[in-house]
Chains A and B, each alone.
Chain A
């Protein structure tokens, strides 16, 4: 057992050995019954007496100056309580907020929007990366549309290329994906005197609290953000949203609660997306596969935002002495991109891993061997420090066995017939070490009931259950015995649920608090049992003498000895210095390509990950399955389509923006490498939110290459692209 009791020591305590009874097993969610009976309350379901509906008037232009706004006709509509102008000057993307109303019901609010008179002076726009980079393209901001985003270099790429025996250069493209959480974005705002409470469909109650306080110029102490359940976020619900501020303003002005729910169309056009990336990689290698030089030029278009860097995987994963990276933002008149499950890494991995597949073919090498050839055990970027744990070699081994890797076409496209099979793989790196300083309180009541109170939130990963599992394990109880209280900014600080941070931040904080509670129970029980505290064991709903187990108190009776409720403060500590903490994984995919229709069917995906200790096998598997499914969906179907001539968005619904359904899903085999990282935290666990999303699209694209012998360097790999690629191949031969 870890002995650290919050002494503030710098290094992480030893992670406990795997004598856990609950941690690491498959534990069904403690709130499962709520979810399957429809009782889980989402922001969409919040309703108050006297509540008004807020609606937002949005710019119909991709770029325009607002000349005038007349709210009066809307205000005079019966049932409308107030109307606000929320934007002056220039609107820079379709769907940007212009004005808002609050009315007694949704229909009246919608009607009122139609009555608001806005005079626009429409201006020229550029919607796509290509258009925005053209000579003389309309300038989106006050500076040129193309701006340096990031650069990196080590060694000398020119020298590396001159040493190479094989050199290739390829360009890869990923298009704009939309998060489309099933629950559209929304907030309900209510003031009680000067205290604001907002129920928000958010991934971060704490950051929305801070953001709202700033936006409204009131103290954080006067803002409470609450949310019990949320229907998906994937990055689009991190941080404060502009409509939440509007809801708070409308509520303030009317003195009544105001609910704003965005429509699916609004969710398509103005709450973020994954930016598009055009990435050119050039590399040199020796005949044996040793990389001598690597360069990446990345252009990323995140609309009015800066887009995503895509270079981290290329900089970090493989051993290569000479690396050069240049990345540029390209501004356009669409809404700002936002973090989207593994921002940058998904795009960068699609390019990097696709490139390695092509390089392997050029070298006549097994693509898996090429990756192993350039394997490294330290972070190859700036730090050069060793990875604390890197189970990637094990991922390769288990994945290759799981998919039966030797079945692949030794030469890409070697198969015959109309339907061609192929195997492909891709590697993943991500952070996922969690955030030191995360807090959790464990309240032990005198009747033996236990509460864990933490300002985190469950975004669907099963955080409630994870907390219950850790507390129950440590106190010898069942997960159902723990009353988990989360989703409220009044609770002790925890980071937003993004970046695969939650499990390695919250888990260790809860563990810390529960260990303190166990120590205290041992002290009070020792007196009662007439033994030394060191001889007391807390397990199996009892507190007992380790030398004489029948000398025992029930957990309840031991808690009674505390006489009143006692709160134990837990904190996630700093990890040991001098090590890099990253997650690793490798996906192996099998596909079948119909060479007549161009349709790709994914048959099987073996997804292997090294994330330190797995806390709940059941929910961890779901994370992997979800990551693979989203990666498949992006690889085959997803793309936002805009119309440059009218400045509008074409596919703003879930019919025209296609996402994968049950029918598209192959056999998915999640595997976890047996691993614990004792240097990182008291549980030895890392995060899992992002990792399974990262290599999924790339592995499928590489399998397609292996099947048909021509690499499709752009996702989504829709049938038209597949057929064009096959045609090109035919013409070449």
Chain B
């Protein structure tokens, strides 16, 4: 990907792409988001130095198929936050140290700040926004509310995704299992003790259904 110098692809901006292809292939929210963002200043505004050749990817995000053109260097986190307006996953350290950006890639928890968006091509991504079914919260989400498994809430989406990933493959986790599963995430407010209780409660709820 490094071979492609940005100047060659100067005209292949996000906006040009959108204008060319029409709305069909993209989810409606994505189109409006991108058009909204780009409409005012358009091409002359492009930060040209930063533009690399884009690659088209198609992936399932929270159950919906999404097709997007992304630069190969763009992280999944940046694409989720900036292109898809899914801001639940947070950029806290931007180097795989804190877990604030945790999402599920085909049911496995990953640090989306360290995975390139192009690697999500053909895969399934679940973010914190995609856990609830309609009005009904995921048992992990409900347990975090009941136990007060958060304080400022900034790290919470990451912890919830790590917890969901654990409970998807371990229905009867021990406290040690839970601590291990959450040990890749940092909560600076220090509410781990309540989170581990919440995950235990959620496990109980999930076993009942």
Residues of A within 8 A of B (CB): 28-29, 32-33, 35-42, 44-45, 47, 49-50, 77-79, 103-105, 107-109, 111, 179-184, 229-232, 234, 263-264, 459-462, 618-619, 621-623, 625-630, 633, 653-655, 659-663, 665, 667-668
Contacts and interface: CB of A to CB of B under 8 A. Distances in A.
B182 interface: yes
The CB with the most chain B CB atoms within 10 A, among A29, A44, A232, is that of A232
A107 B178 contact: no
Contacts of B28: none
Contacts of A111: 47, 49-50
A633 B183 CA distance: 14
Contacts of A627: 190
B95 A49 contact: no
A231 B150 contact: no
B193 interface: yes
Contacts of B90: 42, 44, 182-183, 231
A194 B109 CA distance: 47
A626 B178 contact: no
A149 to B, nearest CB: 29
A118 to B, nearest CB: 20
Contacts of A36: 128, 137, 141-142, 144-145, 150, 156-157, 160
Interface SS of chain A: helix, strand, loop or mixed?
A: loop
13 contacts: A36-B156, A36-B160, A37-B132, A38-B157, A39-B129, A49-B36, A78-B47, A78-B48, A183-B152, A459-B152, A622-B191, A662-B195, A665-B196
Nearest to B144: A36
A629 B179 CA distance: 14
8 smallest CB-CB distances across A and B, nearest first, come from: A38-B88, A231-B154, A629-B190, A108-B47, A460-B152, A107-B50, A79-B47, A32-B145
Contact of B137 (A37, A104, A184): A37
B52 to A, nearest CB: 10
Given A49-B36, A460-B152, A665 B89 contact: no
Contacts of A660: 190, 192
B131 A37 contact: yes
Contacts, number: 204
B98 interface: yes
Interface of B: 36-37, 39-41, 45-50, 81, 86-95, 97-98, 100, 127-129, 131-132, 137, 141-142, 144-146, 148, 150-157, 160, 178-180, 182-196
A639 B150 CA distance: 25
A111 to B, nearest CB: 5
B47 A234 contact: no
Given A36-B137, A663-B179, 5 more contacts: A38-B86, A232-B151, A655-B95, A662-B178, A663-B180
B87 A619 contact: no
A654 B97 contact: yes
A269 to B, nearest CB: 15
Contact of A662 (B46, B48, B49, B179): B179
Nearest to A461: B151
A460 B148 CA distance: 11
The CB with the most chain A CB atoms within 10 A, among B47, B49, B81, B86, is that of B47
Given A35-B153, A230-B152, A655-B97, A661 B183 contact: yes
A625 B93 contact: no
A460 B153 contact: yes
Nearest to B199: A662
Contacts of B160: 36
Contacts of A661: 182-186, 192
A225 B150 CA distance: 25
B47 A104 contact: yes
Given A231-B153, A232-B152, A626 B191 contact: yes
